Amino acid sequence: MGITNDTELQVSSLVDSAEVVGGNPINGTVEVSGFKIAAIPIIAATILTEHPVELINLPVIKDVEVLLHLIESMRGNVEKNGCVTRICTASLRPSSPLPAEIVTSVHGTLYLLPVLLARFGEVRINRTQGGCSIGERPIHHIVAVMEKMGARVRVDGDDIVAEAMHLRGAVLSAQFSGEWDKFRSGATKTALLIGVCAQGLSVINDAYHRASIIELVAFLRCLGADVTGEGTSRLIVRGGKLHGGRFRLEGDYLEALTYLALVAASGGTIEVRGFNPENCRAELSLLSRMGLCLREEKATVFASHTGRLRAASFTTRDIDTDIQPVMAAALARAEGRSVIEEKVWEDRFRYCSQLNKMGARAQFEGNRLVIDGVADLNGAAVQAFDLRAAAALLIAASGARGKSVISGLSHLQRGYQSLLDRMRALGVDIRTRHPIS
C-alpha cells in the first residue's frame, strides 16, 4: 500500500486549537515515537541505493509523510506494514524541478538536494525551504559542501540547480559563519550523504556530533557505508557502493523530554519508555536541577514531582535548542530567576509574549531570556507560532489555573505523533476544537 490515503486520513484528523483546563497532576506511561530529526535525512538517504530498505519506527508526522510522498511522486515504491516502511527507489526518476508547493512545505526536503545529486549527477529543487518561523534558514552551507565535493551549483530563478560528473571526497569543515549549531548539523549531514557515495576519502572536521548524526551514521553503516568517528567532531568517510538493509530508529528523546517537562510543570508521576537517555544526558541533568525526581532503567525514565520547581539557567550550547521552549514553560512557575541563552535560532523566543499572557514574568533581549518565576499561571487565550512553542504552551496551560485556549496547534503535526491524545491519556484535560478541513 502507498502512503497517499494514509496521509489524507492523518491530515483530516488534525486540529488547530484546543481548550486546556489546567491543574490536573500527570499520571501514566507513554511510549515515545521514532526520532524525527534523524528520520528525515535517513528517508532521504534511501535514494542513495537502488536496493530495498526497511525502516522501523518512523514517526507518523507531516515531515515524514511529505518525503515519502515525494519519493512516490518520483516513481519510487513505498509500502507500509504496521510499524515497518519499505522503500525501494530502483525505478526512481526525479521530475525536474520537484513540485515547489510540496518541497517548500517542510524543511526536511532540503536533504533531497545532496542525495539526488549523488544518485543522478544533477538536481533542480526550489531553494525556499519550509519549516517553523524561528529564524533565517539560508542554505549556503549546503551549497558550499556540495561545491567542495565537486558539484557545480547555480541559482536559476527560484530553483537551486546542481550538477556533478564525479563527486569526490574532500577535507572540509562543517563550521560556518561562526554559528554554533545552526549550520553544522545540515553541513555535516550533507557531507555524509555525499561522502558515502563519492570517490575517495572525506574528512569532516568540526562535525555536528549529537544524536541525529550518530543515528544517521548507524543507518548508513547498515547499508554498507564506511564511516567512523560518530559522536566526535571529526568524521571519516570512505565512498563506496551501498546495499539494502533493515533499520530501526531510536525513540525521539525530544518527545521524551516534552513529557518529562510536562510532569515538571503539572506535578505527578510518569514512566517514559522507548528512548536512549544517553542522547539527552545534559537535558536530564537540567530537569534534575529543576527539582524533578528521575530514575532510569534501560530505555525508560521514571519521573515524579510535587511542589514548586527550582530556577535553573542554561544555554543552548549545552541544551538542545529544540527543547528550550518547553523547559522555559516549566520554569515559568519555578522559584527564583532563570536565565536562558539561545545560541542557535534568533527568533526562538517568540513564545515569550504568549507565556506572559498567562501571567509569566519573562523578558528577552537579543538571545537572552530572563524568567522570574511566579507561584501560579492563569489560563488565557494564546497562540503558538511554531512547533516547539505549541508544545511549550500546552505544558504551561496544563500547569495553569483555569482554562486556556491555544491556537496554532497544527504546527504539532510536524514533530509530534498524537501529542494531544497522549497528553489526554496522562490526565491533561484537553478538548480539541476546529478540525482542519
Just list the catalytic residues: 132
Is 282 exposed, middle or buried (CB count within 10 Å of its CB: 0-12, 13-18, 19+)?
Answer: exposed
- DSSP letter at 199 equals B
Q: What span, in angstroms and rounded, lies between the C-alpha atoms of 23 and 20? A: 10
Q: Greatest CA separation found in the chain?
A: 63
- Helical residues (DSSP H) of 169-267, grouped into ranges: 184-195, 211-222, 253-266
Half-sphere exposure of 246 (CA within 13 A, CB side): 3
Q: What span, in angstroms and rounded, lies between the C-alpha atoms of 379 and 21? A: 8
Q: What span, in angstroms and rounded, lies between the C-alpha atoms of 21 and 331? A: 19
Half-sphere exposure of 9 (CA within 13 A, CB side): 6
**Interior CA angle at 419 toward 287 and 399, to 5°?**
50
Identify whether the C-beta of residue 227 lies closer than 8 Å to the C-beta of residue 236: yes
Look at strands 300-305 and 268-273 and give their pairing: antiparallel
Identify whether the C-beta of residue 198 lies closer than 8 Å to the C-beta of residue 239: yes
Q: How many residues does the chain have?
A: 437
With the C-alpha atoms ordered 63, 68, 69, 74, is the resulting torsion angle positive or negative? positive
Q: What span, in angstroms and rounded, lies between the C-alpha atoms of 27 and 427? A: 6
- What pairs with residue 271 in β-bridges? 29, 302
